[in-house]
């Protein structure tokens, strides 16, 4: 009788380990899929930028430096990194360059009325929203995965099988974290 109890406990422990391991694998794959979704949206964003720059070039003859910053930031960001922190930093630089470009477009009424520019600007805005949702899903997936890794007894299984860690997709620029100040004067 005691042998059956010990045997039942061993089988129960084995099934628990298998369950924990499989749960971690599912969450790890969800994190990788979520990051792939970010990559898809970033690729779309990077593909739109050359068209935007070409449309703007004819109007902004005196703004060469801004256009070059956008192109350089796009080239750096388009080299998708498996490291979320590095990719996030590169994307933040690109976002800043694009903000500068759109701010300068205010000085060019003909550009603001150009249908190609308006369509590209709308497409880029839509893509930015998709990127934001993809980042949110990725961060949620990373949080679930990291939490599952850190709780007991899962953390023992993690140490036995060397499950990797994932970083959140975060805003590096502290200015972007602050509230927007609106002034109508």
pLDDT digits 0-9 by tens, 18-71: 999 999 999 999 999 998 888 888 888 888 888 888 777 776 666 777 778 888
Residue 52 has a pLDDT of 81
pLDDT digits 0-9 by tens, 133-161: 888 999 999 999 998 998 898 888 888 88
Inter-residue contact 73 to 91 (CB < 8 Å): no
In a domain, residue 175? The reply is no
In a domain, residue 84? The reply is yes
User: 37-62: buried (b, 16+ CB within 10 Å) or exposed (e) per residue?
Assistant: bbeebbeebbebbeebbebbeebbee
Residue 15 has a pLDDT of 93
- Give the domain extent around 144: 8-167
In a domain, residue 62? The reply is yes
In a domain, residue 159? The reply is yes
In a domain, residue 28? The reply is yes
In a domain, residue 87? The reply is yes
Global model pTM greater than 0.75: no
Report residue 184's pLDDT band, with 50, 70 and 90 as the boundaries: very low
In a domain, residue 91? The reply is yes
pLDDT digits 0-9 by tens, 70-109: 888 888 888 877 888 888 888 888 888 888 888 777 777 7
117 versus 178: the higher-pLDDT residue is 117
């Amino acid at each position: 009788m005691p042998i059956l109890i010990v045997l039942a406990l061993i089988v129960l422990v084995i099934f628990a380990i298998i369950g924990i391991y499989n749960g971690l694998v599912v969450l790890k794959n969800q994190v990788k899929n979520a990051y792939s979704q970010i990559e898809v949206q970033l690729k779309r964003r990077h593909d739109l930028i050359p068209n935007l720059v070409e449309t703007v070039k004819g109007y902004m003859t005196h703004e060469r430096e801004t256009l070059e910053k956008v192109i350089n930031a796009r080239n750096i960001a388009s080299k998708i990194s498996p490291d979320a922190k590095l990719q996030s930093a590169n994307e933040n630089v690109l976002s800043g360059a694009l903000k500068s470009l759109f701010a300068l477009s205010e000085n060019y009424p003909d550009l603001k009325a150009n249908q190609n520019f308006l369509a590209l600007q709308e497409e880029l805005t839509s893509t930015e929203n998709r990127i934001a949702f993809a980042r949110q899903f990725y961060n949620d997936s990373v949080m679930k995965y990291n939490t599952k890794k850190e709780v007991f007894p899962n953390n023992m299984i993690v140490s036995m099988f060397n499950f990797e860690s994932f970083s959140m997709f975060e805003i590096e620029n502290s200015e972007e974290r602050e509230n927007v100040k609106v002034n109508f004067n």
